[in-house]
Structure formats: structure tokens, C-alpha cells
Structure 1
Amino acid sequence: MEKLFSKEELDEIQKNAADNFEYYWNVVVIDGQSNEKTIKTISKHKHLVFVIGNTDTGFNHLNDRHGYFSFQNFWIQNNEMKFKLDNPSKFHPKMMPIIDYVKIADAIFCHENKNVTKNHSPDLFDKYTGVHLFEEGFQEKYHLITYKDTKIVHTMFPDKKKYNKKVRFKYGKGIVTTKLKYTPADSYNDLLVPYENKDKITVYSILIRKFYNEKVERFIIQQHDSEGNPETHYILGERDFENFESFNRETLNLFQTADLGELEDIMAQIEKSKK
């Protein structure tokens, strides 16, 4: 169930913002004892209040759902009440999360931009739709949602999905990991790209394994059982290597952020063949 701020919590946040305005104004506060209601910043011009929040509201929700480098998956129910992978609009990849988000919110928060026709929850929120002009000369349209009759930010997101990767597969890419095993009998280095369902159980994965004893690297797609354990392997190819190669942070980040569309198409075909 969605966890939004209650009237009492909103009152508490507003009182904190008013009593400690100079402390939060136009700075980013890092608090080692923060909670959902902790204020991160108050914007320079419109005095919008950004709180840490949770997965459903506030800065954490905004950044996890719409930040370009967020790797969380979100799921929605379709008309048949079945869950499908959502693809919420993403911010420009060069944006600095809290810094640029605040600038955009300040730019579009005004009475002229209040959007009353496309506000799906007018009893809970106020919605503002406007255009922000960047220093580089381009402009983009955004939607800002604040708690009703307050300046507390619920969320904000781009109008278009111009920075989104195309969704080709019904499961969401999880966190890419590496594993190293080194014994005289069996030595290898793995890079694993999991694809998860709504319950965060791995259904498919891309496995690149360097077999050190054989000096061979194999590219594998794995199909997992209902508990997330690999049960079927599809070897796509292999290559020889010399010396002691291993997966580094750069390779890890590459597979985390890259569009793996061709491999996702293969997994989609495997999934389709099961039916």
C-alpha cells in the first residue's frame, strides 16, 4: 500500500521548515540521523520543501523512480489486473539529482502553471506543469506535484520519455554483480546480470564466466526456477583469453547502464517458446 504523508506529518514538516528556514534554505543538508520527514533542502526562490521521503513520496521516490541512473524496477497492474513492468520517464543523464531537480521545481512552481485538468488526485495534491530552460539552450517540459496547499514536494518528472531505454523484456534488470572463485580444481570469475519479476525473484540472467583453468570465457543465458535458482543454460558463445583477466568496476557499470536489447530479445524468445 502506498505510504504518503499524513496531515499531522505534513504539519510537522512545515513547522520544521518555518522554524529552521535559514538552516535548510538553498543548501543540501546531510543528516546522519535522518528519517522520512527529514528536510534535505528548501529551494532558493519558491521555498519548496524537499524531504527525504520513502519509496512512495519525497526525494527518494522522485530519484528512485525518475533518476536516469536509478536501477529500481517498478510494476503496474494492467486492465486484466496482471502486473507488468513500468517505464517511468527519466531525467537527463547529466543532471545532478538534488541540485538540478530543485532548479527545475523552482522554475515551474507558479500559479500560471497550475494544472487542474490533469491532476488525478486533486484532494491530495497540487500539480504544476511547465517548461524549464537549461543553460545549454534547450528546454524541456516537467510535471511537479506538491502536497495540496503546501510547498512540500511529493514528486516531479519529465513529460516525455526521451531518455528512457526501450523496454523489450517483461522482466526488469536487477543489480549487476561479480563473483570470484579461486581454487586449484575450479577457478572462475562471474559477471551476472539478473532479470527479476515483481517479487524480485530472478527469472532469467546473463552470465559471463571466465574459466581460469581452461582460459575460456563463456557467454550464457540462464533460465531460473520459481525460487530463483538457475536450471537451464543456453551458451551463446565463447572466447579464449590469456593471463589473468577479471571483471572490473568499469565493466560492471557498463552492463548495469547499457542497453542490452539484443540479449533481452533472446530471453524474450526463450520465454515465448515456453508457452
Structure 2
Amino acid sequence: MTSTVPALGTLPQAPGAARPGGIPATEGSTLQAVLLDMDGTLVDTEGFWWDVEREVFASLGHTLDDSWRHVVVGGPMTRSAGFLIEATGADITLAELTVLLNDGFEQRIDRDLPLMPGATRLLTELSAYGIPTALVSASHRRIIDRVLTSLGPHHFALTVAGDEVERTKPFPDPYLLAAAGLGAEAARCAVVEDTATGVAAAEAAGCHVVAVPSVAPIAPAARRTVVTSLEEIDLAFLRGLMTERR
């Protein structure tokens, strides 16, 4: 999904909109783009993936250990599915398991797709101020396109799916691709992520990271800010990341 990307450095104020934090829309910031993860960051679906994985393996006669959840969260499906096949010894190929997991996940989100608190407000604010925004996920294109109907495709200038890059998270490739697609420098992009895998990818790309942990704790670090909810993030906050000395 692509659309016209606003010119970088031009951050128009939406008609009648209040300026977040009282900061003028065109002053005091080098923020060029915002790149957001999907599962566990914008939509409350990390638990859905684990539930589907357990259901699929139960149908194959295997029980997943809860300790494995931290291993598979946030990464590409090939890694997660491959780990679970090896850990359980299930008689199924990676390709077959990938289809079953995507099918099961689509059925779950067709019934219910809860957005994370603050997601709609944040996306609406970024759109209102013309901030170039991308959705960067390790999920496959078929899943992203389903979720976009709830998030609103108009909020994103582009989207990057895990099955569209040679190396997905934790490699930096998806975030480098998204920044380039928006005409931005990675160092002037703010990334919002919920897992250590996603944080590693964004940091390897050279982006400023805001971590909103969903399953496992994430510690603060240089160029990494940790918050408890998207409710703590607005445009003024994201611009501040670019100007803070760390």
C-alpha cells in the first residue's frame, strides 16, 4: 500500500487542530518520519499469535511450553515456526505450518481485533500534522492488509511486510527500507516497537526507539525510551526524541 508522501520538513498544522504540547508544527524538530510496528504495538494481537500456535500444535498432538512464548514473540514467522517444529518434533513442514498459522490468525482477527490504547489518537495526530508514517511488521502481507482495514490505511504512506524483505526483524532491513521509502534518514526516524526483536531491528537501522513492552520487559538505553502505553506518546514527545542529548 502506498500513497503520496508529504514533503519532508513541511509539517502543516491541521485546520483547527491544537498544537501538541504547545510546540509549533514547523519549529524545533528534526523528526522526519515515524515508523510503527503492528502486532502488540498498534493492535493487541501478540496473545492471539500464541493462542493460534498452541491450537495448531495441539491439533498435531503436541503441547507448547509457556516458556517458549518469549522465544517466538516479535520475530519472523519462519523463525518462530521453525523453532516450534524443532522443539516439538512435529511432523509438518515449515511451509505447511506457515499456512495453518496465518489461516488461524486471520480467523481470530475476523472475530475480534482490539487496538492498543492510544493507537487511534496517535495515528490521527500524525496524519493531521502530515508526518510521514509507515507500518513495519514481521507479519505477512495477507495479515497486514487485514489489520489495515481496522487501523485505517490512510494513516500510512507505506507498509512493509515480513515476507516482502529478504531479511526481516531483528535485521535492520525493514526499517531501512521504510525510511528510504519515505525519503527520510533513519537517524531522524522515530520507531515505536513492543518487543526486543523489533527494538534490535530499529536500533541496528540507526533509528530512535520508543519501546512499549507487550510480553517481556525492555530496559531503557541510549536512543531508546521505554514507556508503558501509547497514551504517553504524542507528536511533541516524538519530536523531543530528536533533540534530547543521550
TM range (shorter): under 0.3
- Which fold has the larger relative contact order, with Cα–Cα distance below 8 Å and residues 6 or more apart in sequence? 2
Name the structure with the higher strand share.
1
Name the structure with the higher helix share.
2
TM-score for both structures, normalised by structure 2: 0.23
Which of these two proteins has the greater Rg computed from alpha carbons? Answer: 1
